[in-house]
Chain A
Amino acid sequence: MKPAPFAYHRAQSLDHLLRLKADLRGDGVILAGGQSLVPMLNLRLSRPGNLIDINDLVELDHVHARDGMLRIGAMVRHHRIATHPLVRRHHPLVAGMASMIGYHAIRQRGTIGGSLTLADPSAHFPLAAMLCDATLVLRSTRGERSVPYRALYLSPLNCALEDDEIVRSVLFPIPPPGCRMEAEIFHLNHGGFPLAACAVALTADARGGVATLTLVIAAGGLRPVVLDRELDGFLGAGPDAGLPAAIAGHVAAILPLEDTAKAPAAYLSAVVRRCATLCVTRALAPRAGEPA
């Protein structure tokens, strides 16, 4: 388990990084936290000619909240996101998702930029970014552009970054008051890869029924599925006890699940149904200190 030979570059500044990316074109892979890349290198599943280490780049290590946006630098580690006061205050779902990634040691190294661009179908941050309709700020020597993550994520392990582009920051819209976000991750063992996950954003109407509803599902190696208009039929529904199960049943029915090496489609469907039920139930539950 040693990687195939590669050239190692240590970026000294953001400009240096952008020049390296431009010069190396497609053959410069970024080493951030290394929690996915290094195993892939050691298994020789990834054989880049060049590795660009960006661990010195403080320009990519920032957390701000302004103008209705929570901005997180690409190099911010999972542990910092999980514990950062701004993230916890403005976006508890993102903080909570970060706290559930892998193990303690992984969270000390892994970065949000790395996780989002890897686009692992079962990972936590892609699910959160899809749910929140987060935007990635991309930079290259050609300039900067902002692209919704939902558009950037083409398919599992495949994000539509240009060869010379890097992620500078992630922008999460701060949820409006009254919007509840919940996630449920199903693992076979603690810290292992999730088998299925569901995240929901729900705004209740004055009666406690559903005013807005977005649901994201990750299961069976699919590109995480964002369900929004598909759930319009539930808008205006009252807060009755059967509602979460009804929504979950609808979600499970429309997902194109297939058998995987870990579990058959029927089982994945059952787990998705359960996760969705639990998420929606929690999102609808009255919470202390909030107006009913």
Chain B
Amino acid sequence: MTRDIPDGYVGRPMLRREDGRLLQGRGRYVDDIRMPGVRHAAFVRSPHAHARIVSIDVRAALELAGVHAVVTGADLVGEVADAVVSPPIPGLVPTRFEVLPTRKIRFQGDLVACVIADDRYLAEEAAERVEVEYEILPAVTDMFVALADDAPKVDDRLASNRVVHRVHTHGRPDDQERDAAFVVETEFHQQRQSHVPLETRGCIASWDQGREHLTLVTGSQVPHPLRTQLVRRMGLRDGQVTVESPDVGGSFGQKIALYREELIICALARRLGTPIRWNEDRLENLQASCHAREQWCRTRIMADADGRILALTLDIVEDFGAYCFYPANYIAEVVGIILTGQYRVDHYRYDLTVALTNKCGVGPMRAPMAIASWVMDGTLDALARESGLDPIEIRRRNMLSAAQLPYDMPGGETLLDVNIDETMEAALEHIGHARLRADADTLHGCGICNVVESTTYGSRFYKNSGIGGSGHEAARIIVEPDGTVTGSVGLAASGHGYETAFAQVVGDGLGVSPDGVAIRLGHTDAAPYGMGSRGGRGGTAGGGALYECARMGQEHLLHIAAHMLGLNTARNLRMIDGRVEKLVDGAWRHAGVGIADIARLAYFDPLALPEGTRPGLEFYRTFDPPPMTFSNSTHACRVVIDRHTGQLTITDYVVVENCGAVINPLIVRGQQIGAVAMGISGTVLENMVYDAAGQNLSSTLGDYAIATACDIPMIRIHEKATPGSRTPLGLKGMAEGGVMGAIGAVANAVNDALAPLGVRASRLPLSPVYLHGLIHGHAISQH
């Protein structure tokens, strides 16, 4: 499915139209939206990691003038349904929890009560006056301890803290060991992190008693699925709820689930009959919003004397925190599915275990499968060190060639449209072959990481994996009576540049200039029901749906145009920049009719339309992407480690990327750089630390370090793109692979640098303290 319009708008580096308003402070984030009569909420949160609630005394809080309500879990029983996560997935333990705990809190920052007052200052003052008596219970903060038989139970309803144990086997991995020349086990430990969007969570809920209608303004990635969750929990009908997300100040996966705070605010807005707002502060965001990434992996690779993989097994243990806002297998499962990438692996097994602990609940974070590329290529590097073979040669020998695609991956998906064999060779050329030697002050390393990025998940994937939901997306295009165009799709933009990119797509699909195309997003009434922004699906699923819808629209417009021009077929007509053109003697000529003429007819002179054509120009089209689309890339970097301090400097960073056809190269470049920066930040700095008692030690930005632009090297990006074969325009999607590649490239480079010392870094972050300990042979506990 390729574009047949020369010089289209898709592919042009158009400046982002949303940036003017976002950069000049004219965005509409939750905190920018004023609402008369709004009241403010603050939450009473547990100072303990695990405790029974003995009693709650709210009298002193209610005595403050301007405090309107103090609500505890008991007050909401029966008003709001429990969160239930129980998809029919073998090995997944169903879980449920209350909107506001009535008996027990499970982590530091867990909810105990909600105060509604005239302003946030008062609300916090009142929250401090709520007296809670706790019976402190032993906390479990380490996932391996949590899995022990005698561990304290995080969820009293469950038999144990093990909420997932699943095994997927392809072939007979264990039988290969007797033929293996090398068997290498390698460990990888990724630390807990959090998304830290610039705009924390927040919402304004208002209940219109006359219409019995709830409006929730909140920065959500997924307005429609959020509405679905909301109506189910509150016992409302879909048509009774509007979710609006005008601008979203960053999300990274943190703004998908319906969390308890927003739901409580909605319930109290309905109960009290006044609009209520809650703005999460940074302390709450870091302590109690959503964490991610805490995973331990162990691979066992069996290879022949030439380094060819005979079999691979993966054990993953993931810490899911105190509550399951998602099916607890989902994140680790994607790692297992995608792990083998573009390598041929005939015998494979992955074994997932997920544990509850007394820490903040976790969810997906830009590249939920982030660890996968490091684990795979790090395993090959470990095999190279063990066997003495060249690590690049090992990659080449196990690489699937173009002729071997599509390939049924041992994880169950079908790999196609990837070319790591090409991106790797190009990356090696760009990073250069120089080998720098260690000296008295420094260690030098070079790392390579090949990335297969699962970008867009179609409905077939969800069905196959047993995860509820759909992967389709929906678009609506209206050609307005004046001939301008409004497109909408069920995504919400958090700085993605969708308004620009989608106007380009609609421009090409419909045959109009993007300047005349308005894109409306993030509103359940304005956009058709869609699955929202997650993964790398925006361009492919959202752009694809809009493109298909626009093509349908153009066909309809040309059908009318043919009638207007007295032609009996539209076959030799096309629309460019809103002009109808006609093919005459092999050349396209303006036919004298434009989109505004057609629109006038369709809306104001319907009797002039062709026989059987209905008035109006609205188009609706859904698009279900293939089960999974893949982008790929190779990341290569060079690092220098200061032996004296363990400080790591990335001296060069190269990406060779294949993310298919590109709608807007400027936006794609920004996403790629942003993803690499986020990956580097997580690899070297970010660390959500809990002490043994379950106290969060990283709950301010002074303690939770994030890389700034000054910590990120120049990132050189090159393209080796091939179009997707099964998507509109050849789109594939991107924006997460950079995270995956950065982790692997930097960690592999560090281990290359450490190799002469005979030590290997297996834990992230690669902090100077940790690296210094490895270099000097004294294991320092990870901070």
Residues of B within 8 A of A261 (CB): 697, 783
Contact in complex: B644, A273 (CB < 8 Å): yes
Assuming the contacts A188-B767, A273-B644, asked whether A266 and B702 have C-beta atoms less than 8 A apart, the reply is no
CB of A26 closer than 8 Å to a CB of B:
no
CB of B211 closer than 8 Å to a CB of A:
no
Assuming the contacts A267-B769, A270-B772, A273-B644, asked whether A1 and B283 have C-beta atoms less than 8 A apart, the reply is yes
Q: Which of B120, B121, B283, B768 has the most CB of A within 10 A?
A: B768
Q: Which of A186, A264, A277 has the most CB of B within 10 A?
A: A264
Contact in complex: A188, B768 (CB < 8 Å): yes
Contact in complex: B780, A274 (CB < 8 Å): no
Contact in complex: B125, A5 (CB < 8 Å): yes
CB of B1 closer than 8 Å to a CB of A:
no
CB of A234 closer than 8 Å to a CB of B:
no
Contact in complex: B645, A188 (CB < 8 Å): no
CB of A43 closer than 8 Å to a CB of B:
yes
| B123-164, CB < 8 A from A | 124-125, 128
Contact in complex: A2, B685 (CB < 8 Å): no
Assuming the contacts A2-B121, A189-B705, A191-B710, asked whether A266 and B283 have C-beta atoms less than 8 A apart, the reply is no
Main secondary structure of the interface of B (DSSP, over half): loop
Contact in complex: A2, B124 (CB < 8 Å): yes
Contact in complex: A262, B281 (CB < 8 Å): no
Main secondary structure of the interface of A (DSSP, over half): loop
Residues of A within 8 A of B752 (CB): none
Residues of B within 8 A of A267 (CB): 646, 768-769, 772-773, 780
Smallest distance from the beta carbon of B254 to chain A beta carbons, Å?
A: 18
Smallest distance from the beta carbon of B281 to chain A beta carbons, Å?
A: 4
Which among B125, B283, B780 is the interface contact of A264 at CB below 8 angstroms?
Answer: B780
Residues of B within 8 A of A186 (CB): 645, 647
Contact in complex: A190, B124 (CB < 8 Å): no
Assuming the contacts A2-B121, A2-B124, A267-B772, asked whether A262 and B708 have C-beta atoms less than 8 A apart, the reply is no
Contact in complex: A274, B644 (CB < 8 Å): yes
Contact in complex: A266, B705 (CB < 8 Å): no
CB of A68 closer than 8 Å to a CB of B:
no
Interface string of B741-783 (1 = CB under 8 A from A): 0000000000000000000000000011100110010101101
CB of B706 closer than 8 Å to a CB of A:
yes
Residues of B within 8 A of A271 (CB): 644-645, 768
Whole-angstrom CA separation of A110 from B282 in the bound complex = 21
CB of B591 closer than 8 Å to a CB of A:
no
Contact in complex: B773, A189 (CB < 8 Å): no
Interface string of A250-266 (1 = CB under 8 A from B): 00000000000111101
Contact in complex: A190, B778 (CB < 8 Å): no
Contact in complex: B283, A43 (CB < 8 Å): yes
Which among B642, B646, B705, B773 is the interface contact of A192 at CB below 8 angstroms?
Answer: B705
Q: Which of A103, A186, A190, A267 has the most CB of B within 10 A?
A: A267
CB of B306 closer than 8 Å to a CB of A:
no
Contact in complex: B708, A189 (CB < 8 Å): yes
Interface string of A174-209 (1 = CB under 8 A from B): 000000000000101111110000000000000000
CB of B2 closer than 8 Å to a CB of A:
no
Whole-angstrom CA separation of A271 from B768 in the bound complex = 10
13 contacts between A and B (CB under 8 A): A1-B281, A1-B282, A43-B283, A103-B708, A189-B707, A190-B710, A192-B702, A262-B769, A264-B781, A267-B646, A267-B773, A270-B776, A274-B644
- B residues near A (Cβ < 8 Å) are 120-121, 124-125, 128, 281-283, 642, 644-647, 685, 697, 700, 702, 705-708, 710-711, 767-769, 772-773, 776, 778, 780-781, 783
Known: A186-B645, A192-B705. 15 other contacts (CB 8 A): A1-B124, A2-B125, A5-B125, A39-B702, A188-B685, A261-B697, A261-B783, A262-B769, A267-B768, A267-B780, A271-B645, A271-B768, A274-B642, A274-B645, A277-B644
Q: Sorted from nearest, which 5 A-B pairs have the closest CB atoms?
A: A190-B710, A1-B281, A274-B644, A189-B705, A2-B124
